[in-house]
Every structure is written in structure tokens, then in C-alpha cells.
């Protein structure tokens, strides 16, 4: 989230917390296979709904976080900040340069992965 957020602050002056919130759900869905059991544990501790299978639980946690972002009226798209779709490749290149953060991610992030995540919020 933070790595892919940086190019958005630098070039488009989107507040870091806002761009983090915009990217939160897509990045969590990307990371979900690598942290499913942790998210399922969070579900058991915080949501305690009807979900039984781990993937249902982790999906519910991500959905809840996405709901909080929407509830707070934080935009869910970069187009509201005037980020043109034509800037996608530049965003991917800039995001992939934030290696000090990317190396700590639970899943390896390739340029294709970053592109797919940005495409979800453009």
C-alpha cells in the first residue's frame, strides 16, 4: 500500500493517507493468499460472523476494511484526483522503485501485479 502510494503523493499531491486508503482493499486482496490465516484470525477476534472457511473469513475482513473506507467518504478512485489512465505505466515504474517497502511485502510484487492494482483504482 505505502509503496504504491508514494508516486501518487509526489506527482498528484494526493495526501498519503488518502492514497493509502484508496489502495488498501486492492492491495489486501492481492496479498490475501499470503496472509489468509492471519486475516482469518482477525475475523475470529473482531468480526465473529457466520464465515467458516478461512478464505471466507479473510475476504470478510478485507470487505469490512473496504466498507470503513467507503463509510468515511474517502474516494475509491484516482480519477477523482485527475490521475489520467495514460499515466499508468509511469505509476508502475515509480511504484516499483520503492523497493525498501516492496521487499517487506508478504507477496512478491511484479510490475504486472502493480499494474493490475493501479488499474483497479484508476
Positions that interact with Fe ion (CB under 5 A): 2
Q: Which residue is nearest to Fe ion (CB)?
A: 2
- Any idea which residue has 511485502 for its cell? 105
Least separation in angstroms between residue 102's CB and Fe ion is 13
Nearest Cα to Cα of residue 59 among 119, 1, 50, 20:
50
The answer for residues whose C-beta is within 8 angstroms of residue 102's C-beta and 6 or more apart is 3, 96, 109
Pick 2 or 115: Cβ nearer Fe ion = 2
Least separation in angstroms between residue 46's CB and Fe ion is 23
Pick 9 or 75: Cβ nearer Fe ion = 9
Amino acid at each position: 500500500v505505502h509503496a504504491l502510494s508514494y508516486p501518487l503523493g509526489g506527482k498528484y499531491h494526493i495526501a498519503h493517507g488518502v492514497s493509502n486508503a484508496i489502495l488498501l482493499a486492492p492491495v489486501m486482496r492481492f496479498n490475501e493468499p499470503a496472509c489468509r490465516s492471519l486475516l482469518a484470525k482477525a475475523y475470529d477476534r473482531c468480526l465473529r460472523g457466520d464465515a467458516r472457511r478461512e478464505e471466507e473469513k479473510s475476504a470478510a475482513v478485507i470487505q469490512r476494511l473496504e466498507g470503513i473506507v467507503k463509510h468515511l467518504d474517502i474516494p475509491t478512485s484516482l480519477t477523482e484526483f485527475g490521475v489520467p489512465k495514460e499515466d499508468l505505466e509511469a505509476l508502475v515504474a515509480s511504484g516499483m522503485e520503492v523497493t525498501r517497502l516492496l521487499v517487506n511485502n508478504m507477496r512478491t510484487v511484479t510490475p504486472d501485479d502493480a499494474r493490475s492494482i493501479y488499474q483497479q483504482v484508476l
